[in-house]
Structure 1
Amino acid sequence: MADLSPLPGGPQSTLHASLGVQAPHDDVIRQAHHRSAAFGLDAHERPDFAPLAPGWLATVREENRLLYQHASPVMETLHEQIANTHSMVLLTSRSGLILHSLGDADFLERATKVALMPGVDWSERSKGTNAVGTALAEERAVVVHGRDHYLHANQFLTCSCTPILDPYGKVVGALDVTGDERSYHQHTMALVRMSAQMIENRLFAHATQDSMRLYFHARAEFLGTLMEGIAAFTPDGRFLCANRSAQFQLGLSNSALRAHTFASLFGLSVSQLHDGLRQAAGQPLSLCLHNGVTVVAQVRVRPAKSLVQGWAAPGASAGAAPPAAAMAQARPALSRLRYLNTGDPQLAAVLQKLQRVQGSDIPVMILGETGTGKDLLAQAIHNDSPRAARPFVSINCASIPETLIESELFGYEEGAFTGARRRGAPGRIQQAHGGTLFLDEIGDMLIQLQARLLRVLQERRVTPLGSSKEYEVDVALVCATNKNLKPLMAQGLFREDLYYRLNGLVVRLPALRERTDFDVVVHKILTKLCSGGTPLRLSPQVLALFHRCRWPGNVRQLHNLLRTAVVMAGAGPCIDIEHLPDDFFDELQDPDASAAPQQTASAEPAREAAAGARLQDVALQAMVEALRQCHGNVSQAARLLGVSRNTIYRKKDRLPPGLLS
């Protein structure tokens, strides 16, 4: 067992002195070391650190869905507060399994060497004395610093951890900040405690949204802060649960409070409370606790049926139109279904089906490869619907960071977490009220959010994070994915009930290589790119190469390539081989990219001509001009030209000196 005596003047004695907890802290650590030894752990060896398989981790996260979704935004804010301190933030399950982590890149690399990462068990049984395992074993906040750790491999760490309780006082997980022992700060535990309380209050709001909730404090300025007490009661006044601050102010634990009612705690009946609320006309009430302390209180009661029509951001009037609505009304129509019909029979069949359900609000799911124009089709569905004057809100489920997607979708209320905007912010779902909600890449939505989305779609109500209010939402739903969702359902990564809620009408957009209207698509894109002037045309050699390509990026790839070619062709009437970017020819050299074997021979002269054309100065001139416009920034120039950065770097020896930044 490791030596527990503090080093004179060392970090451990400094830590204990700063906390003022010498004896109690040492007792906790000593008991934890005894438990670690009893588990058969060797302090000098490293146990098996193998994490759970990704599929199992997803399953555990789903089991801890509520904890995970309510903790993620708080963790993001906490991480911002401790950024650049060689630290990380961890969320664990009640058993000590790490569910989620955020941290500085330099420290995360060191942390992985001791398996401090999602999917790994950090209970005392597995890792010996450590802040996560010991806090969960003791059910109290614990700092484990340096040599306090049982395993020598972990003694470079300093960890501050506190359990997270559900509204009924049961431990559901833990929140931890871990860093290099040299970067210890005495205020870290205070930040962890405050963050855990935010998570607990959010869990409280979620669990008691159908209850009568009382928010109170002896000082009015503390209402709406972490200091306020929150107690939940049934409509007839029976006690349900209270947060930590409420238990402290009432002087009773959750278990002791279960013997009480609203009347026994506050000295008046529920009917008298409602009379007082009517007389107060929205102002806080003055109540007297059972222990004689006078508090200022606010009451929130969810009505049997929501009276809110439309949505209102916290502080806004009910029924006010969201800002996105005004933007949508001013936005010109980007497309209509009839404009998308360019002669391909498969596409025409898709458009015909959509026109039949137009205005019915039947959910539409669009399948198709990346770049086939699923977003354009979704916009056209909206523009042809009776909701065209209302918002069209697009959400790419794959592009929003994991820690932000919940607040992005559902919004949040003032005080929901540290750093939240004053008066909160509506979510994208609320912004789509009255219009169309487009969920792109729905197959990439986190499993823990799918159940909440399903509930919103079924009940047509949304509750922002940290809020007890519900807002009615009326949206037409369009989803899109390039994935096959059925295998994801079989793997437990996509909910079956959500799938059947989304696929009212399923349509599949054909890949560009499958379409018979390729030449028409090219002409439409060139007409748009040439800004109303005479559109350029393709040379026969270029057209032949285009018909050979499989276009893995579909219409998006074609559009980007033509945009580059138009720039390189300049004022010329024709796009020729020398105007095409190198990446295009690299794809043609792949045998799998050939559309038909019989075309290989006829295209060979064009391939040889292309090889020579790539050495021409035309491409170099376009690169030079793009780099000058972008002040030497290769990434920006590559995006402007629609090529990869490597294409430009391959030409760097032939570019003017000093042009690349």
Structure 2
Amino acid sequence: MHSQALGRAESPAQDHSLIDKAHARSRAFGVALEDKPDYARVGKGELSAALEESRFLFQHAVPVMETLYEQIANTHSMVVLTSAQGLVLHSKGDSDFLEKASNVALMPGVDWSEQARGTNAVGTALAEQEAVTVHGAQHYMRANQALTCSCAPIFAPQGQLIGALDVSGDHRSYHQHTLALVRMSAQMIENQMFAASFPKAVRLHFHSRPEFLGTLVEGIAVFTPEGRFISANRSAQFQFGLSVNALQAHTFSSLFDLPMSALFELFSGPSTAPRSLCLHNGVSVWCRTEIRPAGPWAAPMVAPLDEGGASRPGAAEPRPAPARRPHLSSLQYLDTGDEQLASVIAKLRRVVDRDIPIMILGETGTGKDLLAQAIHNDSARARQPFVAVNCASIPDTLIEAELFGYEEGAFTGARKKGAMGKIQQAHGGTLFLDEIGDMPRHLQARLLRVLQERRISPLGAGKEIEVDVTVISATHKNLKELIASGEFREDLYYRLNGLVVRLPALRERSDFQAVVQKVLKALRERGQPVRIAPEVMALLQRYHWPGNVRQLHNLLRTACVMVDEGSAVSLEHLPDDFLDEVHAPPASGAGAPLRPQAPVAPAVHAAAPGGDLDEADEAGQRLQDVAIHAMAQMLRLHKGNVSAAAKALGVSRNTIYRKKNLLPPDLLD
């Protein structure tokens, strides 16, 4: 099987013994090479139960999946999230590949464990508990050999396997760097889950280089206030040189040669600057933590971060709202000089606390969620919950339970004692319905009734509960077109649009430099200020920003990590894929990317299904740009050590050396 030609795509650089072991397991499970696969989905109740069981993973994975998909969009691929058992929970992909994916059932409710599908990236990554690519003929069942899939397992903050993240595409469009992207995305999910856990623990962030604090590669370890070790993320385990199981035998004192009281004293002052500590293995690291000034044994001030600030489902009462920070999250803070935005803010100030529903329109990434939070923070409800619901990121099978809650036994897999819905969690405060245009039609009538009667009825409950909420909704879609096509209720539209405001796109704003400075200040609030070189600012101002403020934030966050202390952000600190895009031939209309100033390195890729060779080449070039950027970042992190960078990325040394003509020459050892 391994001798079969793999087309024009290069075979993944990994240990083939891993695939051989997976094939042996497949034979033992009784899977046959020529089996016609059964891609029947599990029942709705079983899928709902699996989604409920994986709620914590799902909430933190979906935003990362959106970011990952943006990086691979238009490459005939899709992103898949599964449970620890291999059941697909959520998928997102290119429209052309989605049709193909339905034929191989990369859809929610399908089991992709090795027992069911033989050797495949999801099942094999879960079985081996390590990231893996299964390419073309490496799949055990011939029916799956048209695919190339790269998958990384996801571990919960306590260390147990909780799920997997996968990118699947046509085997002719294989790219070496995809596994590295998946691995980094899985790490991002793990770190975000880690940040949302252990609310009463002392959480220590550390790295040997201070500029990497707050980034994906920082180590995070948590301890009890008395110094007992609780858990550590993968980067922390790597820096300690110990597995999470081995770390269980340690304390803060044995790992840092310092009593816990000294840590509290070190971080008890007003300064939030990183401090230098020494690990048990002699490595010096920079650390950051925040200590509550309440009693001799304190916990960190940073509370678990639930989207919307609401308590977790099932809690008896909503969590108290955090202390207000009006200088960072008020309407005044968002007013940076643009006339269009100033007009929007003036209108909003007139209706705050008037019980008038607000609808925010704007392109993706314009900051609709930030504006909603600012409206709440400037209202009389500021100390009550602000609960956000993204109607586009919750599956149809879960959104009803998510919004309205449910009683014990309402459906298979429901939590004991039931769970409180988002609407009830927002009682007394603000309910933010983001992407309202994606709310399923059958729930729109229920929502309309709640808004009219201010009562909800949880699933399985025989009673109604009174709720008091102010409603803010947002969408990037044209709701009137959805009404015309029958996808959105007209009566609900007129119930939500008491005041409709439109956020301008970033390319339409006159305060671009002020926005850049505000983003930089937020990114480097605890470090040295960052300057932007004039030629970079000019380039940023001429770009069309399809991802708006969110795209600008992500770009500047990367630049802040890359730039040296005291230096200005220059062109070399900007991601390669961004530079290639702004140097691309201009499209028609204003705000188009810049003309190319240098030739783009050629790349050869197999044609993707449903498209021609040119389309595949363009998609492949974009993916290669992301790969080069990731390699450059890791080489800088590991000070030019190719072996260490390759290990961190999950690729071979040869993969990096093959790209050496595209990498800065001073980075290769």
After TM superposition, the score normalised by the length of structure 2 is: 0.53
The question of 1:503 aligning with 2:503 is answered no
State how far apart, in whole Å, the 2-side matches of 1:188 and 1:43 are.
27
What does residue 29 of structure 2 align with?
Answer: 39
The secondary structure found in structure 1 opposite 2:104 is coil
- Please tell me whether the aligned partners of residues 309 and 319 of structure 1 are also in contact (alpha carbons under 8 angstroms): no
CA distance in 1, matches of 2:173, 2:330: 51
Report what 2:325 is aligned to.
312
CA distance in 2, matches of 1:211, 1:393: 39
Write the letter of the residue equivalent to 1:311.
Answer: R
For residues 317-350 of structure 1, the C-alpha deviation after alignment (integer angstroms, 9 at most, x for no partner) is: 5999664999888338999xxxxxxxxxxxxxxx
2:506 matched residue in structure 1:
none
Counterparts of 1:62-461 in structure 2, within 5 Å, are 62-278=52-268, 281-301=271-291, 310-312=323-325, 316=327, 323=334, 330-331=346-347, 382-383=353-354, 394=358, 427=373, 431=377, 433-435=379-381, 445=399, 447-448=401-402, 453=422, 457=426
Query: Deviation string for 1:413-441 (max 9, x for gaps)?
Result: xxxxxxxxxxxx98478546534879999
8 Å contact kept, 1:132–1:176: yes
Q: Deviations over 1:584-616 (max 9, x none)?
A: xxxxxxxxxxxxxxxxxxxxxxxxxxxxxxxxx
Which amino acid is the alignment partner of residue 87 of structure 2?
L
Higher relative contact order (CA 8 A, sep 6+): 2
The alignment partner of 1:268 has SS state of coil
Residues 6 and 478 from structure 1, CA distance in 2 versus in 1: closer, same or farther, beyond 3 angstroms? same
User: What secondary structure is seen at the aligned counterpart in 1 of 2:46?
Assistant: helix
The structural deviation recorded for 1:283 is: 1.3
Residue 98 of structure 1 contacts residue 117 of structure 1 at CA under 8 Å; is this kept in 2? yes
Q: Which amino acid aligns with 2:112?
A: W
Task: Tell me if structure 2 keeps the 8 A contact 1:217–1:297.
Answer: yes
Give unpaired runs (5+ residues) of structure 1: 336-378, 385-391, 412-424, 463-476, 491-495, 507-551, 561-661
The alpha-carbon distance between structure 1 residues 112 and 296, as it changes in their structure 2 partners (threshold 3 A), is same
Which residue of structure 2 aligns with residue 489 of structure 1? 459
Residues in 1 aligned to 2:208 and 2:368: alpha-carbon distance in whole angstroms? 34
Q: Is the 8 A contact 2:69 2:93 kept in 1?
A: yes
Q: Secondary structure at the match of 2:206?
A: strand
Judging changes above 3 Å, is the alpha-carbon distance between structure 1 residues 129 and 59 closer, same or farther for their aligned structure 2 residues?
same
- Supply the distance in 1 between the matched residues of 2:469 and 2:5 (Cα, whole angstroms): 73
Q: After superposition, where does 1:504-519 map in structure 2 within 5 Å?
A: none
Q: Look up the equivalent residue of 2:380 and give its one-letter code.
A: G
Counterpart-to-counterpart distance in 2, 1:505 and 1:222: 41
CA contact (8 A) 1:393 1:438 kept: no
Give the aligned partner of residue 4 of structure 2. 7
Counterparts of 1:207 and 1:460, CA distance in 2: 24
% identical aligned pairs: 45
Which protein has the larger Cα radius of gyration, Structure 1 or Structure 2?
1
TM-score, structure 1 as length reference: 0.54
The amino acid of 1:75's aligned partner reads M
Distance 1:301 1:27, change over 3 A: same
The answer on whether the counterparts of 2:268 and 2:291 sit within 8 Å (CA) in structure 1 is no
Is the aligned partner of 1:480 residue 2:450? yes
CA distance in 1, matches of 2:349, 2:114: 60
Q: Which amino acid aligns with 2:467?
A: N
Distance 2:453 2:329 in 1: 39
Check conservation: 1:219, 1:295, Cα contact below 8 A: yes
Rounded to whole Å, the distance in 2 between the matches of 1:177 and 1:183 is 12
How many angstroms does 1:7 deviate by?
A: 3.4
Superposition deviation, residue 207 in structure 1: 1.2
Name the SS for the 1:213 alignment partner.
strand
Deviation for aligned residue 1:453: 3.7
Q: C-alpha distance in 2, partners of 1:203/1:129?
A: 29
CA change 1:395–1:121 in 2 (3 A) is farther
Structure 1 residues 279 and 155: CA distance shift in structure 2, 3 A: same
Find the counterpart in structure 2 of residue 647 from structure 1.
none
**Separation (CA, whole Å) in 2 of partners of 1:204 and 1:555:** 38
Unaligned runs of 5+ in 2: 303-320, 336-340, 406-419, 432-446, 471-488, 498-669
Q: How many pairs align?
A: 412
* Equivalent residues in 2 for 1:502-651, closer than 5 Å: 502-503=466-467
- Tell me the C-alpha RMSD between the 2 structures: 4.5
Deviation of 1:68 after TM superposition, in Å, equals: 0.5
Instruction: Name which of structure 1's ranges 185-194 and 35-44 shifts more when overlaid on structure 2.
Output: 35-44
Task: Report the residue type matching 1:221 in the other structure.
Answer: E
Q: In structure 1, give the amino acid aligned to 2:11.
A: L
CA distance 1:485–1:479, shift in 2 (3 Å): closer
Closer, same or farther: CA 408–201 of 1 in aligned 2, 3 Å: farther
- State the SS of the aligned residue for 2:273: coil
Please report how far the alpha carbon of residue 238 of structure 1 lies from its aligned counterpart in structure 2 after TM superposition. Answer: 1.1
| Equivalent residues of 1:89, 1:175 under 8 A apart | yes
Tell me how far apart the structure 2 counterparts of residues 240 and 441 of structure 1 sit (CA, whole Å).
Answer: 32
Q: Helix, strand or coil: the match of 2:450?
A: strand
Aligned pair in 2 of structure 1 residues 109, 504: CA closer, same or farther (>3 Å)?
A: same
